[in-house]
């Protein structure tokens, strides 16, 4: 297991919590909105969307541990490789939080950019969904009619 103070390498995997509503049952499993910055509420993505370094976790499901069991049942986990993000001109920046190690953000996908220029982020969000479609680690247990 890596320490979160170690540099983020291109071959690392990042984990994203994805709400059940972002899983679809039509053509592709993930909606591009799974990578949309939160713009309202108590957890606005001012610094960028949140992910967690898999190498800093004992188990990928550790990123759900602060959620109630009901909320955990409404979330899946998607993996993204750092090198794939860099290919589409996204960066990954460490943003430590006290509760779960390895927290990072993608600063290019932040609330302000989304609010001011949503059109520029939509293609990027679609690319992330395509990448994530092949790397779903955990389907929400409550998901019905999913692509498995």
What average pLDDT does the segment 118-139 reach? 94
Give tens-digit pLDDT for 6-29. Answer: 999 999 999 999 998 898 766 678
**pLDDT at residue 144 greater than cutoff 60:** no
Residue 110 structure tokens: 């932040």
Distance CA 136, CA 21 (A): 15
Q: What is the pTM of this model?
A: 0.91
Helix (H) or strand (E) holding 30: none
Distance CA 148, CA 127 (A): 21
HSE-CB for 37 with a 13 A CA cutoff? 24
| Per-chain mean pLDDT for the chain | 92
Q: Which residue has the tokens 């071959």?
A: 11
Sequence-separated (6 or more) residues with CB below 8 Å from residue 36: 49, 109, 114, 121, 125
Residues β-bridged to residue 14? 53, 80
The reported pLDDT for the residue numbered 142 is: 63
The reported pLDDT for the residue numbered 83 is: 98
Neighbours of 129 (CB within 10 A): 21
Residue 109 structure tokens: 């996908």
Give tens-digit pLDDT for 47-83. Answer: 999 999 999 999 999 999 888 888 888 999 999 999 9
Give tens-digit pLDDT for 29-55. Answer: 899 999 999 999 998 999 999 999 999
């Amino acid at each position: 297991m890596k320490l979160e103070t170690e540099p983020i390498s291109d071959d690392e995997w990042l984990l994203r919590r994805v709400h059940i509503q972002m899983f679809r049952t039509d053509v592709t499993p993930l909606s591009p909105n799974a990578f949309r910055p939160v713009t309202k509420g108590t957890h606005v993505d001012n610094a960028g969307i949140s992910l967690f370094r898999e190498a800093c976790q004992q188990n990928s499901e550790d990123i759900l541990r602060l959620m109630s069991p009901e909320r955990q049942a409404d979330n899946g986990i998607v993996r993204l490789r750092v090198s794939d993000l860099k290919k589409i001109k996204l960066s990954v920046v460490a943003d430590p939080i006290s509760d779960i190690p390895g927290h990072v953000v993608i600063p290019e996908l932040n609330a302000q950019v989304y609010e001011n220029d949503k059109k520029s982020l939509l293609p990027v969000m679609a690319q992330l969904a395509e990448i994530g479609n092949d790397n779903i680690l955990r389907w929400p247990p409550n998901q019905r009619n999913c692509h498995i």
